[in-house]
Amino acid sequence: MSNSEKPKSSWRERRQSIKHKWLAPFIFPEWLCERVSYFLGRWAFLDILGHAGRLTILIAVIVYFMEADERRMASENQRKAKHYQAWQVINVAHGKPGGGGRKDALEDLHKDKVSLAGVDISNAYLRELNLSGATLWKANLSGADLMDANLSGADLSYANLSGAHLLRANLSGARLVRANLSRAELNNTNLSAANLRNANLSGANLFYAHLSEAELSDANLADIKNWVYIRSIEKANIYHVTNALSNFIGWATGHGAVSEDRDEAIKINVLLGKKKEETKEK
């Protein structure tokens, strides 16, 4: 039971003790609450309810921790089922044109950090696919439509990208070690306007590849294959490419490639823009 003390005065006594009588209406609720609190505190039934509430909370906490393994297992089973369904979508659509739900399936698997090494998505329609940082080692993307796709930082080592459509694709920082970027039947790999900045293209096969307007600054071009058969390289930026054969630079610039520090150019343009704004304000 509560150890609260019994209020010592009646309301009449309390009211008489109030110096400023106009405060009485405001003090009365407090006095009333004191009386109610005292009488309720004497009820053993309420004490029992209080103990029962605390016991219920304790039991709930114990049950929660006891069922933690079951919840974890259920979550894992749900995750596996989701992955199985995604792989089913990819496998059923194998070899077929169009998307077939593969874009969402691939992105969901990658989001859950599932390796996509060796996946076969050849000839699939996958425009704007986002697999940034994905593991696509030895994947088959031949003939796939990957226009505007984001494959930045992806591991595409030994991947087959022959005949793939990679117009404006983001491959910055990607690993394309010994990747096949050559012609497939009558289709050339299209890397026009693709971002290959800082990409690792060492040993990649570029037979008949289109690289016009591609951004290749800081790319690793060690031991690239069939570069003399590159179909187009006009306006491609080869600024600060590394490990390229000595005659590649001359050949590329002779075929329309440029070497520009575009980061510096952007900075200069920004500064010029700011100066113009300041001049207008003056």
The domains of the chain are located at 11-66, 101-282
Q: At what angle do helices 68-92 and 102-111 cross, to 10 degrees?
A: 150
Higher pLDDT, 76 or 84: 84
- Using 50, 70 and 90 to split pLDDT, how confident is the model at 43? low
Q: State yes or no: pLDDT of 113 exceeds 80.
A: yes
CATH number of 101-282: 2.160.20
Task: For residues 168-178, give the mean pLDDT.
Answer: 98
The reported pLDDT for the residue numbered 42 is 65
Q: CA distances (Å), 75 to each of 87, 113, 115, 218, in order?
A: 19, 16, 20, 44
Task: Say whether pLDDT at 44 is over 80.
Answer: no
The answer to whether residue 199 scores a pLDDT higher than 90 is yes
Greater confidence (6 vs 202) lies with 202
How would you class 253 by CB atoms within 10 Å of its CB: exposed for 0-12, middle for 13-18, buried for 19 or more?
Answer: middle
pLDDT the model gives residue 270: 47
pLDDT of 1 reads 46
Q: Which residues contact 24 (CB under 8 A, 6 or more apart)?
A: 15, 18
